[in-house]
Amino acid sequence: PPPGPVCNRSFDLYACWGDAVPNSTATVPCPWYLPWYHRVQGGVVARRCGPDGRWVTDDSGRPWQDNSQCEDLAQVQPLQRQAWLLEQFRLLYTVGYSLSLVALVVALLLLLLLRRLRCTRNLIHANLFVSFALRAGAILTRDALLPHGHGHPLQLLGMQRVTLTGRRRTTRGDTHGVSGTSSGSVSPAHRARAGPGRLFLLRLLVATSGRRCVPAFLLLGWGVPVLFVVPWVVLRYLYENEGCWERNEKVAVWWVIRCPILVAVAVNFVVFVRIVRILVAKVRAHQVSRGDTRLRLARSTLTLIPLLGVHEVVFALAGEGEGGGGLRLARLCLHLLLTSAQGLVVSVLYCFTNKEVQAEVRRGWQRCRL
């Protein structure tokens, strides 16, 4: 090595650097192993050696380097467009969860504060609202705590290197809010859950009363998920405790929580089919006109779809897929839209448009005016 302080030779898993004197810029040819090397073989990678004989670092603490001449622009531009599009998806679900959270809190306060609304059915609805509110609050809190631009949890397009503003950065074509494996799967946070209400509704349709089963349904709805979440947390902490748990690269650990999610989606769909069949039989038994039958059945079915998260079945059957193709991005956008707005739709259908709730709100308003 040359006399005096020098920036030490090193290999950073990208390029091999020799010793460099202070206050100088070191350059090496683009790595030969790049798949597009024939298009960038005349380019160089650059680093700066500081006056103290240390490599100049960037904001993340890693040595700064400029590998813009070694990037394949044919790949960079599509990734930048995908990153911008996914950022819009983040804004979309942020608005959806924010509206859902506000609506759910208001609906929950109405059910708890108005005494005449305290019944078994509204108790089930209140538990449903709490579960959706916790999910929305958790996702919004996580996005607020994670620094923007570092460690985005939306691992949807795989880890790919993109050069921006002359320095090497690692971008994953993602934004906040949806975790995934390197192939891009959706996190448990965005999965729908219907709580104990689905079984309670089925019990009411099949039997004469479901009130005696409410404690068991509540224990089932809030207790069973703990049996899977706790082992997943332990395994995650022991074997994949990296970052903010926004990536799921260890397939075995990911399937510990993914399997019960898929089972819950399947159970919801089975319950949905059984309830629809019972509704069809009950509507036909009233001997109403054919048009009225279809209208009432359609109305009942549409109100059950957001309650039971039936849209999750479509996404589960479609699979996670890989890459960032147009079909995959469209499916992701639809999934985030439906999932984030699910709490808003449920609160509107089962609280704000409920005639009993509207009547109680009017009575309370009149008493306040008097």
Q: What is the pLDDT of residue 319?
A: 58
Tokens of 291: 């048009």
For residue 205, the model assigns a pLDDT of 61
Q: Which stretches within the chain are classed as H helix?
A: 37-40, 73-113, 120-145, 197-206, 214-239, 251-285, 290-308, 311-318, 326-347, 355-369
First-residue to last-residue Cα distance in the chain:
91
Q: Which of 75, 323, 315 is nearest to 184 (CA)?
A: 323
Residue 208 — φ and ψ, nearest 5°?
-85, -25
Query: Of the candidates 315, 313, 311, which has an alpha carbon nearest to the alpha carbon of residue 332?
Result: 315
pLDDT at 355: 87
Distance of alpha carbon 256 from alpha carbon 233, whole angstroms: 10
Q: b/e map of 224-258 (b: 16 or more CB within 10 Å)?
A: ebeebeeebeebbeeebeeeebbbbeeeebbebbb
Cα–Cα distance measured from residue 82 to residue 148, given in angstroms and rounded to the nearest whole number: 17
Q: What's the whole-model pTM score?
A: 0.67
Q: Could you list the pLDDT tens digit for every one of the 370 residues in the chain?
A: 667 789 989 898 899 999 998 999 999 999 999 888 888 888 999 999 999 889 999 887 888 999 888 887 766 666 677 778 888 888 999 999 999 999 999 999 999 888 888 888 888 889 889 999 999 999 999 888 876 544 443 444 433 333 222 333 333 333 333 433 333 345 555 554 555 667 666 666 665 555 677 788 888 888 888 999 999 999 999 998 887 787 788 889 989 998 988 888 888 888 888 888 887 777 777 655 555 556 666 666 777 777 777 777 777 766 555 545 677 788 888 888 988 999 999 899 888 988 888 888 898 888 888 8
Please tell me the predicted confidence (pLDDT) of residue 114. 87
CA 58 to CA 65: how far, in whole Å? 9
DSSP of 264-304, one letter per residue?
A: HHHHHHHHHHHHHHHHHHHHHHTT--HHHHHHHHHHHHHHH
Query: Could you give all domains of the chain from N- to C-terminal order, each with its CATH number?
Result: 10-70 (4.10.1240.10), 76-156+198-369 (1.20.1070.10)
Distance from CA of residue 329 to its chain's centroid? 14
How many angstroms separate the CA atoms of 149 and 46, rounded? 24
Q: CA 164 to CA 59: how far, in whole Å?
A: 14
Single out the residue of 104, 146, 147, 98 nearest to residue 127, CA to CA.
104
What's the token pair of residue 102? 């506000």
The CA distance from 193 to 339, in Å, is: 10
